[in-house]
């Protein structure tokens, strides 16, 4: 039986751990606390002053800045943030909360857990490959496409919060993000390597597949060379775009079949991920397309970019993929911010439509505003009229402008205050009262209705006919509904698609 070690952390708290290595990463050894409510991770090698200072600031100043502000409790679920710094036998370590239960595999892999993953943590890499998902991962762990979008939203939100505090993760990848597709939850880990620009430089260059092209292209230079590009907020933005693309499309945006050096595989890799990196779906340069002849059956249909183009993610995310992998791939200043991804993901959730095919593996798809909408995953067409709500908001009394935001209707779909008022944003600052549903949609005898549960101002225009709370209003093509008269209040114009 291993000994239990008791220490006093830098903040004065008592820390205990069982003196037995339970996990090892590239830089740290991990030990469990007796109650398994936290772990202690010790860095290998002797402690240096710079590392000590960085860990001290991450566990105090920056922790306080994120968790002790308005909405601070929200972040406890999205970050596995170190709580204290410790030192033992000349080694520095951090105390980190134990991962939440949903971030461990509940079910073994298929074929009698041939991968022995039951009980292991759900690193995102397990879920980013179509062959893993198709051949190994238990169906109950996979969730659906709506939940994939929601976990991407949580990742974007966590990165946005980190960047707004002036911090870069430096190694954002599917190894350092835990995800649970069955609940749509995500959590950023390995926070102890955070980069404070201009103060604490990065310990690592990053994880292959997620390192920004400018870092790959200058990796041969010495660390202190002014031309060398090191991890930063700009390189995090590249990694975030890759993560969202991989989780939604199950392929890498740069790993096509273009060969840059036939004789030197290492040089070929450096060029394809670095100075000559090229989007596999580039609209005018098809030289890096994924060739179907090289694709395994278990990777289909995801690696078939003609059948599953990135356009299936909808207009908001599609625009950001263009900015990230065409405009900003070699120009970091043009990359979308985490805030851009968060906004686009929220708006994309509002475009989702349930697939009518109950056997469809993805269950949801983004409505593409075509005359005949159909699920891109299983090919099932939608039948019957389909209301789409186009949202407008007032900058001043009586004047409404389009918000470039639409809400798809389906039976049971909910309406919330962030739909009725553009000044309410569904993020960590939202109040409990603002989370309450204010209406829902129902299909009754072939007609669509909006049932008013909490909109005292709801009225039909131009006649200004009130729709009382508890009442309902039919959704017909061209109908205008004023949902709120407060500043930022929205007007809805109904469009009937698939007539």
pLDDT tens-digit profile, the chain (499 residues) = 689 999 999 999 999 999 999 988 778 999 999 999 999 999 998 778 888 898 999 999 999 999 998 888 999 999 999 999 999 998 999 999 999 999 999 998 888 888 889 999 999 999 999 999 988 999 999 999 999 999 999 999 999 999 999 999 999 999 999 999 999 999 999 898 888 777 877 877 889 999 999 999 999 999 889 999 999 999 999 999 999 999 999 999 999 999 999 999 999 999 999 999 999 999 999 999 999 999 999 999 999 999 999 999 999 999 999 999 999 999 999 999 999 999 999 999 999 999 999 999 999 999 877 667 899 999 999 888 899 999 999 877 768 999 999 999 999 999 999 999 999 999 999 999 999 999 999 999 999 999 999 999 999 999 999 999 999 999 999 999 999 999 999 999 999 988 7
pLDDT given at position 111: 82
Structural domains of the chain, with CATH: 4-98 (3.30.200.20), 104-109+120-350 (1.10.510.10), 384-497 (2.60.200.20)
Q: What angle do CA 47, 48, 51 make, to 5 degrees?
A: 95
Query: Residue 198 phi/psi, 5° resolution?
Result: 80, -10
pLDDT given at position 25: 78
**Distance separating the N- and C-terminal Cα atoms of the chain:** 71
Q: pTM surpassing 0.85?
A: yes
pLDDT given at position 411: 93
pLDDT given at position 46: 78
In this structure, the strands spanning 399-408 and 91-97 are: unpaired
- Average pLDDT of every residue of the chain: 94
Cα–Cα distance for residue pair 104/119, rounded to 1 Å? 5
pLDDT given at position 371: 65
């Amino acid at each position: 039986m291993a000994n239990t070690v008791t220490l006093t952390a830098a903040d004065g708290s008592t820390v205990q751990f069982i003196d037995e290595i339970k996990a090892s990463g590239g830089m740290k050894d991990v030990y469990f606390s007796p109650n398994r409510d936290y772990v202690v991770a010790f860095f290998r090698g002797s402690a240096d002053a710079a590392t000590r200072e960085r860990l001290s600031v991450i566990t105090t100043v920056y922790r306080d800045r994120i968790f002790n502000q308005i909405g601070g409790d929200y972040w406890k679920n999205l970050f596995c943030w170190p709580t204290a710094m410790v030192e033992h036998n000349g080694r520095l370590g951090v105390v980190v909360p134990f991962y939440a239960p949903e971030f461990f595999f509940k079910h073994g892999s298929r074929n009698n857990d041939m991968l022995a993953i039951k009980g292991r943590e759900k690193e995102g890499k397990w879920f980013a490959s179509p062959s893993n998902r198709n051949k190994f991962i238990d169906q109950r762990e996979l969730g659906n496409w709506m939940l994939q979008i929601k976990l991407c939203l949580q990742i974007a939100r966590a990165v946005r919060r980190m960047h707004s505090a002036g911090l870069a993760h430096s190694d954002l990848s599917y190894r350092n993000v835990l995800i649970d597709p069955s609940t749509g939850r995500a959590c950023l880990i390995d926070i102890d390597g955070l980069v404070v620009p201009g103060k604490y430089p990065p310990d690592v260059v990053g994880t292959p597949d997620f390192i920004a092209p400018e870092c790959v292209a200058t990796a041969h230079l010495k660390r202190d060379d002014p031309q060398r590009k090191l991890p930063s907020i700009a390189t995090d933005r590249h990694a975030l775009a890759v993560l969202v693309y991989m989780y939604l499309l199950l392929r890498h945006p740069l790993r096509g079949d273009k060969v840059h050096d036939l004789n030197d595989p290492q040089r070929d890799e450096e060029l394809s991920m670095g100075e000559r990196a090229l989007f596999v779906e580039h609209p005018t340069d098809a030289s890096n397309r994924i060739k179907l002849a090289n694709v395994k059956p278990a990777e289909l249909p995801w690696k078939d970019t003609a059948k599953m183009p990135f356009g299936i993610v909808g207009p908001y995310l599609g625009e950001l993929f263009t900015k990230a992998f065409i405009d900003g791939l070699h120009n970091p200043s043009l990359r979308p911010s985490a805030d851009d991804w968060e906004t686009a993901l929220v708006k994309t959730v509002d475009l989702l439509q349930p697939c009518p095919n109950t056997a469809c593996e993805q269950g949801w798809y983004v409505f593409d505003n075509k005359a005949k909408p159909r699920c891109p995953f299983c090919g099932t067409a939608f039948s019957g009229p389909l209301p789409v709500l186009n949202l407008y908001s007032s900058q001043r009394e009586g004047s409404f402008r389009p918000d470039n935001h639409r809400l798809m209707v389906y039976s049971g779909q909910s309406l919330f205050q962030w739909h009725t008022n553009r000044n309410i944003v569904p993020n960590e600052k939202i109040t409990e009262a603002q989370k309450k549903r204010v209406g829902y949609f129902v299909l009754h005898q072939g007609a669509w209705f909006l049932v008013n549960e909490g909109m005292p101002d709801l009225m039909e225009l131009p006649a200004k006919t009130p729709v009382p709370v508890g009442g309902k209003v039919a959704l017909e093509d061209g109908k205008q509904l004023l949902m709120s008269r407060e500043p930022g209040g929205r007007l809805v114009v109904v469009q009937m698609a698939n007539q």
